[in-house]
Amino acid sequence: MTAPQPFTVVLGVAQDAGHPQAACTKACCADAWEGAGHLVSCLGVVDPVSGERWMLDATPDFRSQLRQLDLLQPPRSQPDLAGVMLTHAHMGHYTGLLHLGREAIGADAVPVYAMPQMRDFLASHGPWELLLRAGHVRLVDLEDRVPVALNERIQIVPFVVPHRHEYTETVGYSVRGAHHAVAYLPDIDKWDRWSEPVERLLETHDVCYLDGTFFTDGEIPGRNMADIPHPFIQESLTRFAPLAPELKSRVRFIHLNHTNPALDPRSEAAQRVRDAGLGLAEEGERVGL
């Protein structure tokens, strides 16, 4: 009998502040206030054989996302996390670590994988350093492009990308199993600011969860969107248009802002993505490794 394979699972698809977003009374969040919203972008990794579970990013929706993992792979204790891999120090990607502290779970030495600047930030700023001092988490060093074996069946590789570095560097992750690979890249400034062509990710991974924060320029009235640079989905559609259908089908846009019309699968924007041969990440979506 073949052993069940490890897999990734999408635990959230929204930008850092979630959907609905605080104080938003516009049409983009109207239905979401009635329960049709989305959790903040997060990818879970599960090995059904060992029972291990990992999270890529610790979001403000940590409670609900840990519960999703519990339903997929029952915990042996709580939180039963073999590790949390952080991408960077923006609101939606690390603040969920607070749930591991004494006011909540009171976890025991959960491994938190972090790049050098991220490690220094956590170790030298409250309330994060208290998590370390009290033994609720322990830091595991990461290096750019250096593979880390999570166990004998799963490997991760962090890779640095350009993104607003107010506090720390930003990384995406390659998650690799014996048969398949998944890329997780929820934040980057613009594709052409990265020294590596994003197309290379598509060539080397079976599924790529890519930054789809905004659909188009001008999406946030009254704000200069150059101050919050991301590759607009509209730009990505143009860039990926010449690619072979097989490569385009590997794209899943994730990290969608509450203003992004593609959050609604019934929208014209979502249909444009599908018509172009690309996809949108869906909560609960699983990819075998």
Give residue 223's pLDDT.
83
Give residue 220's pLDDT.
84
Share of the chain above pLDDT 70, in %: 100
pLDDT tops 90 at residue 222: no
Question: pTM here?
Answer: 0.97
Give residue 228's pLDDT.
84
Torsion (CA) 143, 145, 146, 149 in degrees, nearest 10: 110
Torsion (CA) 119, 123, 128, 130 in degrees, nearest 10: 150
Q: Give pLDDT tens digits for 235-250.
A: 999 999 999 999 999 9
Q: Give pLDDT tens digits for 19-32.
A: 999 999 999 999 99
Measured in residues, the chain has a length of 289
Of 113, 85, 79, 118, nearest to 99 (Cα)? 79
Q: Give pLDDT tens digits for 81-125.
A: 999 999 999 999 999 999 999 999 999 999 999 999 999 999 999
Give residue 248's pLDDT.
98
Give residue 35's pLDDT.
87
Q: Give pLDDT tens digits for 172-221.
A: 999 999 999 999 999 999 999 999 999 999 999 999 999 999 999 988 88
Of 4, 1, 3, 33, nearest to 18 (Cα)? 33
The overall average pLDDT reported for the chain is 96
Side chain identity, residue 121: F
Share of the chain above pLDDT 90, in %: 94
pLDDT tops 90 at residue 73: yes
Classify domain 7-288 at the CATH superfamily level. Ribonuclease Z/Hydroxyacylglutathione hydrolase-like (3.60.15.10)
- 123-124-129 Cα angle (round to 5): 50
**Domain chopping of the chain, boundaries:** 7-288
